[in-house]
Amino acid sequence: MQFIKNTAKSYLFFLIITSISSIIYTSIIYFSNTQISTNTLNIISFFASVVIFFILGIYISHIFKEKGLMNSFMISLILLLLILLLKIITKSFSVSWIIKSISCLLASSIGGIIGINFKRKKTI
C-alpha cells in the first residue's frame, strides 16, 4: 500500500513540476519578441524534460528512502510507457522520442542515485 501511495505522490509531483515548467516556458515564448525556430524549441524541450526527470528521480528516491536507482527507473519507465501509448494512439511517435526517453530514464536513474544520498532531517 505504501508503494502505491509513494508512486501516486511521484506522479502528482511530476504533473505539478511539468505544469509549472510549461507555464514558464510558454510565458517566455509568448512575451518575447524574438522568433524561435522549431529546432531551438526541440532542443529546449529535450533539456527541460531531462531536467524534470532528474528532479523526479531525486524526489522518488527521497520519498521511498531506499533503492533509489531501481525505484526511480521503474516509476519513470512506467510514466514513459504511458506517454508512448499516447504517442502511438495520436500517431506522433518518432525515433527522436526514443532517444529523448532513454535520456530521461538515464537522468531519472542518476537523480535517484543522488537523491538517496541526501541527508534527511532526523526527528527526535
Q: What's the pLDDT tens digit per position in 13-66?
A: 888 888 888 888 888 778 877 777 778 888 888 898 899 889 888 888 888 887
User: Is residue 92 over pLDDT 60?
Assistant: yes
- How many independent structural domains does the chain possess? 1
CA distances from 3 to 7, 10, 27, 52, 123 (A): 6, 10, 36, 21, 22
Q: Show the CA angle centred on residue 124, arms to residues 111 and 6, nearest 5°.
A: 35
Least confident of 76-80, 86-90, 119-123: 119-123
Asked if 115 and 72 count as a contact pair (C-beta separation under 8 A), the reply is yes
Q: Quick check: is 82 in a domain?
A: yes
Is the pLDDT score of 124 beyond 70? no
Q: Largest alpha-carbon pair distance within the chain?
A: 55
122 burial (CB, 10 Å; 0-12 / 13-18 / 19+) is: exposed
Predicted confidence at residue 66, as pLDDT, reads 79
pLDDT for 54 equals: 92
Q: Long-range contacts made by residues 77-86, C-beta under 8 angstroms, separation at least 24?
A: 77/105, 79/11, 79/14, 80/104, 80/105
